Structure 1
Amino acid sequence: MRMQQLITVTAAALFGLTAVTACGSDTAGSSVDGALSGQIPAKNGGTDGSGGSDGDGKSGAPGLPKAGTMAKAAQIVSTYADCGGLSTDPNDDDFFPGDEIYDQKWSVTERGACGKGTRIFMFKDLKTFQTAYKAQLDEDRKESPNKGHRGKFLLGQDFAVLPDQKPVIRNAIKPGGLLILNCHPDFNPPTGYRKDPALVKGCVLTDYFED
């Protein structure tokens, strides 16, 4: 799949997306924070701000889809974007260097790659995953204070997605879809967008991003 990777990286360069790099505390490859490099608010994804809950109102994953398996997660992602050629083999050319940092400390149990640079991470515990991201971001912000201002992961209840293309993000955060995990202390979306408390203090789940 090396030719497919070359096409993905070339397209990313043409549209101003973050190119795949090797390793680093923010990991290789694109993310919500990396792909969305502009400053103009996108006119989509907004709701009445009422949020909701997953039954008990304390889940930290209001209305988010639950996969259970990597196959199901890929099926959910495929409703937002191309998720063909799913692979869970770390030796596959589609895997991103550095993604191995998302391990047991993040509660990650399985990593997958599909479509045009989309990565999927299955995890056991949502709070553990959010805690790990918050800790990483706090450390990164010591050198780059604006790091993570646009968020990073698209979250379901038991899986996270790192897309490489803006259309995936736009489609995924529509009502009933995924939400962006944002733990930046200065994040404050316009009224009408979701800012649901996450399970970790200082983090929220939102459907707002800067295009």
Structure 2
Amino acid sequence: MRTKPLFTAAAALFVLTACGSGGGMTPQDAVNGAGAGTGQSQGDNPADPKEGTLENPTKNGGVNGSAPDGATGFDGLPVAGSMKAAFDYVATYSRCKDLGTRPDDERFYSGDSEKDAGWGVTERGVCSTGHREEWTRIFMVSDMKKFQGAYKADLYKQFKDDPEAGLNGGFAIGQDFAVVAVGDDEVRGLGQSQLLILNCNPSFAVPSGYKKEKALVEGCVLTDFTGD
């Protein structure tokens, strides 16, 4: 996941300029591998609704415990269930530290909050990487299909001025969170995670040997190609 065209381009968008899953099924279905879900992420243990999320990854083991064995595409992505779990996951693959969630945190980009409702974002976090002005931002998403559709629509507005906008992708996403990392080291680190990059540029073609999975909206793909 590269800084340059990939995440800095996404950073400009959630001005947004960038875990709750989205798109036509319940969170329970997401845990069981039935497709893309909506609402807050949860496991299938009534006594512990967070079982199977990154916060309590008792299903299948590991930090990606919520993803079903053998799942691919969106169903195989990590489910966080909380900002803390998403932050811990991102920090595992990067230097992300000092999580901030206050709206007045100066590390947020101007305008980050303007599209929260329209993009299905319910909570925002930002962390430092040790380099000045290289911050990683985490967005909890209640409806990932809505989020992907909003990203695509925003991207298409940019094509009039820049037909190559988003050519190397936008957000790195899980089932219920999206990440924007700035800095080559951070992008490479997150590239080792199980997150996939959302790419909605119609001119983009996934190079051979890289993952190409269907996104939740037509005309977008999920890939592990970072543009490197």
Q: 1:106–1:27: structure 2 CA closer, same or farther, 3 Å change rule?
A: closer
The structural deviation recorded for 1:99 is 1.0
1:111 aligns to what?
A: 124
1:96 aligns to what?
A: 109
Q: 1:58 aligns with which of 14, 23, 35?
A: 35
CA–CA separation in structure 2 for the residues paired with 1:190 and 1:97: 34
Residue 161 (structure 2) pairs with residue 184 (structure 1): no
Q: 1:25–1:76: structure 2 CA closer, same or farther, 3 Å change rule?
A: closer
Q: 1:87 aligns with which of 100, 111, 114?
A: 100
Structure 1 moving runs of 4+ over 6 Å: none
Alignment of 1:62-81 (within 5 A): 62-81=75-94
CA–CA separation in structure 2 for the residues paired with 1:77 and 1:203: 23
Q: 1:126 aligns with which of 124, 144, 151?
A: 144
Instruction: Choose 55-64 or 158-167, whichever is displaced more.
Output: 55-64
CA–CA separation in structure 2 for the residues paired with 1:54 and 1:205: 19
CA–CA separation in structure 2 for the residues paired with 1:17 and 1:205: 18
Q: 2:185 aligns with which of 167, 177, 194?
A: 167
**Secondary structure of the structure 2 residue equivalent to 1:134:** helix
CA–CA separation in structure 1 for the residues paired with 2:198 and 2:167: 10
| TM-score normalized with structure 2 length | 0.67
Give the RMSD, CA atoms, in angstroms: 2.5
**Secondary structure of the structure 1 residue equivalent to 2:154:** helix
Q: 1:186–1:17: structure 2 CA closer, same or farther, 3 Å change rule?
A: closer
Q: 1:108–1:29: structure 2 CA closer, same or farther, 3 Å change rule?
A: closer
Q: Letter of the aligned partner of 2:118 in structure 1?
A: K
Q: For structure 1, which runs of at least 5 residues remain unmatched after alignment?
A: 1-15, 32-52
The structural deviation recorded for 1:186 is 1.1
Q: 1:149 aligns with which of 149, 152, 167?
A: 167
Q: 1:201 aligns with which of 218, 221, 225?
A: 218
Q: Letter of the aligned partner of 1:191 in structure 2?
A: S
| TM-score normalized with structure 1 length | 0.73
- Asked whether the equivalents of residues 15 and 114 of structure 2 are also in contact (C-alpha less than 8 Å), the reply is no
Report the count of equivalent residues.
170
